[in-house]
Structure 1
Amino acid sequence: MGTKSAVDLMESLSEVHFSGFHMDGLEQRKAGTEQPTTSATDMYKQPFVIGVAGGAASGKTSVCDMIVQQLHDQRVVLVNQDSFYHNLTEEELTRVQDYNFDHPEAFDTEQLLRVMDKLKHSQAVDIPKYDFKGYKNDVFPARRVNPADVIILEGILVFHDPRVRALMNMKIFVDTDADVRLARRIKRDTADNAREIGAVLDQYSKFVKPAFDDFILPTKKYADIIIPRGGDNHVAIDLIVQHIRTKLGQHDLCKIYPNLYVIQSTFQIRGMHTLIRDSQTTKHDFVFYSDRLIRLVVEHGLGHLPFTEKQVITPTGSVYSGVDFCKRLCGVSIIRSGESMENALRACCKGIKIGKILIHREGDNGQQLIYEKLPNDISDRHVLLLDPILGTGNSAVQAISLLLKKGVPESNIIFLNLVSAPQGVHVVCKRFPRIKILTSEIEIGLNEDFRVIPGMGEFGDRYFGTDNDDQQVVPPSQ
């Protein structure tokens, strides 16, 4: 049985398209140079913001309502871009039939940014309720919105302004056929708004369709997820909600422990996780995708090291003000799984010294150190501690305690792993509040056998196992 590629595996789920696959800091989206939305350090101190864009009558509201319903146990607020239309002037009111409500300049984006800034900083806001008969936003009382865990920002042009896009942790584009959107619009405007069908069609051909082609459709390239058929695509929405719940679990831990850092997830990263967690993945593919993910973790870990400012002269004779890498650095791998992360560290840091710690497990809770080989001057270095799985935290505690005995300052240790169980995070962060833990995903927890779930199995066995590339990992017996 062949292993599916990450893209094939993800897109097989009810036709939901995971567009713009990228790795933070290593790859840019082919569609442009859009930078990662929210930084990994800031996103966990603030609400999780979801942007939902798409053409008029594409089903955005249905998608938002279904997400809100499934996240019923979370504090969720919905912010509509329609609330931020400009008030029409007296002159514009006299020729309202010629006013383009689908143009970016029809919205008060500055007010939207102010509202979102307050919500992201846990402040209550008053959101106007736009009167689509009088074309004013001060006719009805404003809607009071309190801070929440999740903010859904919905509108046809919420991806148009880069400042608004930068607020989002997840961007969803609802992609619905133009004929379906037009049919829905005719039904809505004639039945609900008592408009003549001729006026609806005239507005569509004059403003709605050109604006979709010029302003809305081009923003599709910024989406992390593209949902065909809108609210009818239940499987896609279930997948999105599952991902949001995963991120909210990480969010809560990072609020408790400011020294815990989780790499901002993309569906490129989720695709890698899907493959290396699959029990049917071949050893060759397991190693390949593990190495990619490990490289990401190492790069992010290096970003937490201190630096000094440095100026250089470029080949054009210009002065460039940059930074100089930390020189006093070493890696320490916890044998044997931690050794899988050494190549990525060597690839990033030429000539780096790497020490080793072997901890023999005796039972579920007992730990015994039986081997260590560390640089003689390790107390003068920053240390990247390597172990792909943080489970109970017992091995990590033993390794960190040894480093402290060798004179390494606690604040000089950065613990890198691929996945972390909440139990292990609690143990390590409470015991060593000044070290940093950097991981790519927080797990559900530990089972009765103290194994990480959903987990990756025995990482060292899968990574260093048979040399036969076609050998598959045997699924656990039921």
Structure 2
Amino acid sequence: MGSKAIEDLIEASSGVHFSGFHLENTDASSSIVDQPVTSSNENAKQPFVIGVSGGAASGKTTVCDMIIEQLHDQRVVLVNQDSFYHNLTPDELQRVHEYNFDHPDAFSTEQLLCVMQKLKHGQPVDIPKYDFKSYKNNVFPSRRVIFWHMLFKLSSFFIISFKSYPFLNVCKVNPSDVIILEGILIFHDPRVRDMMNMKIFVDTDADVRLARRIRRDTVEKGRDIGMVLDQYSKFVKPAFDDFILPTKKYADIIIPRGGDNHVAIDLIVQHIRTKLGQHDLCKIYPNLYVIQSTFQIRGMHTLIRDAEATKHDFVFYSDRLIRLVVEHGLGHLPFTEKPVITPTGSVYTGVDFCKRLCGVSVIRSGESMENALRACCKGIKIGKILIHREGDNGQELIYEKLPTDISDRQVLLLDPILGTGNSAIQAITLLIKKGVPESNIIFLNLISAPKGVHEVCKRFPRLKIVTSEIELGLNEDFRVVPGMGEFGDRYFGTDDE
């Protein structure tokens, strides 16, 4: 089909809808990016957004590539800040060697924000491909581009990426589970930072970055070494000192040596996998709450999961994690407004703690959580439930001692491990039989297996579960993996050793 025939067909198709494209009044100046962000599915899972920043030639791309390679079973897209450079004006083109490409004003942050908003709301986007020869991009498809897109869709060929079609000069990016945003200045604007779930700064020595830049620009771009050094001293280094390095303080993780630091990247990927698993279950069950994970919390989990950890360390760091879970659980209790007079004579309107409260520990592991609850709630009553477990299904209630007025109280059920969910279901069923409303029960634990979460949340949708981490699953012996072993034995020192 010749180009004239294509154009005639486009003209004949004006005002007709094809595959979601409306060709009426379509021109190169019509901005796809300026359309309001709306989501076709408001309940769709939000992607996990990772920002990777650092100086030019610090190894950001290598780090991104290694993360993507290890997350091979996830849908991952990479968005590069370089795609959002402003088109240079004729005057700027005349003095292109005096133009500072490392300055925040060189980027169209508004365009980047709009693209990221659409991806976060589950919408595909067209991302420009910036041409460093003409110093321009083409984010707005022409009528011919739209026709080709329509033609491919009508032919049952779905265009995943426009990189295979250089005449289009745009990249089609579809929504994914993970979005990696890479660029030297992605931490500079607070609106962009706020979109990120994780911020990584690649910290590489200035001499190494300069050496890489010289090698890249002279070999790959054919530039004179004098020109490279002149640009570095005039623009690159001052911009790094003034704009890029100050954003290092916003990073959650700093990776020294970039892509050479395999240990750091492995830890990051493990953390991402954990967050993705938690994210999925929290979207399915609105009554599941996972406390915000930090590397401090991750570090404590690492210590108590280590089979070689001493009893002292296991108890110490378990207590710290338990306290965090208890504090988070208390935040879900009902409160009443309470004004007080401060020492300055002013009125402070705060809240009053829930008075009708009790704890119930599932013996014996649950007893490890009692001290943290008592430390947070002075004089709290604590009941006991003992359930004998054997394998997956053998559950037998052995003993229970609960406050006589438990039906009038908010109940914090304590058990550090949620595995199959069978013991938890029996304990919760007992509480409900005692007259406790399901919505008055908050189940606190350190780690939860997906099976247990499914079983409890489906059966008791008004109960709340608060945990610090979601596990991978259960092994053939119905033990949580990776888990932390028999918690009660390790905590109370009654294991075999």
Would the TM-score normalized by the shorter structure come out above 0.5?
A: yes
Q: SS of the counterpart of 2:132?
A: coil
Q: SS of the counterpart of 1:306?
A: coil
Q: SS of the counterpart of 2:362?
A: strand
Q: SS of the counterpart of 2:223?
A: coil
Q: CA deviation at 1:399?
A: 0.7
User: Match of 2:15?
Assistant: none
Q: 1:431 aligns with which of 459, 467, 488?
A: 459
Q: 196-205 or 226-235: which moved more?
A: 226-235
Is the Cα contact below 8 Å between 1:415 and 1:435 reproduced in 2? yes
Residue 184 (structure 1) aligned with residue 208 (structure 2): no
Q: CA deviation at 1:312?
A: 4.1
Q: Which amino acid aligns with 2:53?
A: A
Q: 176-185 or 99-108: which moved more?
A: 99-108
Distance 2:226 2:402 in 1: 80
Residue 357 (structure 1) aligned with residue 388 (structure 2): no
User: Match of 1:29?
Assistant: none
Distance 1:310 1:89 in 2: 61
Is the Cα contact below 8 Å between 2:391 and 2:477 reproduced in 1? no
1:418-477 deviations in Å (ceiling 9; x for gaps): 0111221121112112211111111222222222122111111111126xxxxxx778xx
Q: SS of the counterpart of 2:266?
A: helix
In structure 1, the gaps of 5 or more residues are 1-41, 467-472
Distance 2:334 2:175 in 1: 35
User: Match of 1:126?
Assistant: 126
- Aligned CA distance change for structure 1 residues 247 and 43 (closer, same or farther; 3 Å): farther
Q: CA deviation at 1:373?
A: 2.0
Distance 2:123 2:324 in 1: 34
Q: SS of the counterpart of 2:228?
A: helix
Is the Cα contact below 8 Å between 1:173 and 1:220 reproduced in 2? yes
- Aligned CA distance change for structure 1 residues 43 and 444 (closer, same or farther; 3 Å): farther
Q: CA deviation at 1:77?
A: 0.6
Residue 335 (structure 1) aligned with residue 366 (structure 2): no
Is the Cα contact below 8 Å between 2:386 and 2:400 reproduced in 1? yes
Is the Cα contact below 8 Å between 2:60 and 2:182 reproduced in 1? yes
Q: 1:307 aligns with which of 332, 335, 341?
A: 335
Is the Cα contact below 8 Å between 1:360 and 1:369 reproduced in 2? yes
Distance 1:317 1:45 in 2: 48
User: Match of 1:413?
Assistant: 441
Is the Cα contact below 8 Å between 1:280 and 1:474 reproduced in 2? no
User: Match of 2:67?
Assistant: 67
- Aligned CA distance change for structure 1 residues 363 and 203 (closer, same or farther; 3 Å): closer
Distance 2:43 2:187 in 1: 19
Q: 2:325 aligns with which of 256, 277, 297?
A: 297
Residue 284 (structure 1) aligned with residue 292 (structure 2): no
Q: Which amino acid aligns with 1:101?
A: F
Is the Cα contact below 8 Å between 1:102 and 1:208 reproduced in 2? yes
Residue 260 (structure 1) aligned with residue 291 (structure 2): no
Distance 2:233 2:396 in 1: 75
Q: Which amino acid aligns with 1:119?
A: L
User: Match of 2:182?
Assistant: 154
Is the Cα contact below 8 Å between 1:328 and 1:382 reproduced in 2? yes
1:220-273 deviations in Å (ceiling 9; x for gaps): 233232222222333332332222222222222223322222222221111111
Distance 2:262 2:385 in 1: 48
Distance 2:110 2:358 in 1: 47
Distance 2:439 2:227 in 1: 67
Is the Cα contact below 8 Å between 1:44 and 1:251 reproduced in 2? no
Two-structure CA RMSD over aligned residues (Å): 2.3
User: Match of 1:235?
Assistant: 263
Distance 1:441 1:289 in 2: 15
User: Match of 1:102?
Assistant: 102
- Aligned CA distance change for structure 1 residues 317 and 134 (closer, same or farther; 3 Å): farther
% of aligned pairs identical?
A: 86
TM-score (norm 2): 0.80
Q: 268-277 or 436-445: which moved more?
A: 436-445
User: Match of 1:143?
Assistant: 171
Q: CA deviation at 1:371?
A: 1.9
TM-score (norm 1): 0.83
User: Match of 1:166?
Assistant: 194
User: Match of 1:85?
Assistant: 85
Q: Which structure would you say has the larger RCO, counting Cα contacts within 8 Å and 6 or more residues apart?
A: 1
Q: SS of the counterpart of 1:73?
A: coil
Is the Cα contact below 8 Å between 2:391 and 2:478 reproduced in 1? no
Distance 1:289 1:79 in 2: 39
Distance 2:87 2:420 in 1: 58
- Aligned CA distance change for structure 1 residues 294 and 45 (closer, same or farther; 3 Å): farther
Distance 2:342 2:91 in 1: 56
Is the Cα contact below 8 Å between 1:119 and 1:146 reproduced in 2? yes
Q: CA deviation at 1:117?
A: 2.0
- Aligned CA distance change for structure 1 residues 331 and 150 (closer, same or farther; 3 Å): same
Q: Which amino acid aligns with 2:364?
A: R
Distance 2:345 2:43 in 1: 39
Distance 1:134 1:328 in 2: 71
Distance 1:474 1:271 in 2: 26
Residue 226 (structure 1) aligned with residue 237 (structure 2): no
Q: Which amino acid aligns with 2:374?
A: R
- Aligned CA distance change for structure 1 residues 324 and 128 (closer, same or farther; 3 Å): farther
Is the Cα contact below 8 Å between 1:45 and 1:254 reproduced in 2? no
- Aligned CA distance change for structure 1 residues 161 and 94 (closer, same or farther; 3 Å): same
Q: SS of the counterpart of 1:57?
A: coil
Is the Cα contact below 8 Å between 1:279 and 1:474 reproduced in 2? no
Q: CA deviation at 1:86?
A: 2.6
Distance 1:157 1:386 in 2: 46
Distance 1:450 1:49 in 2: 34
Q: CA deviation at 1:338?
A: 0.7
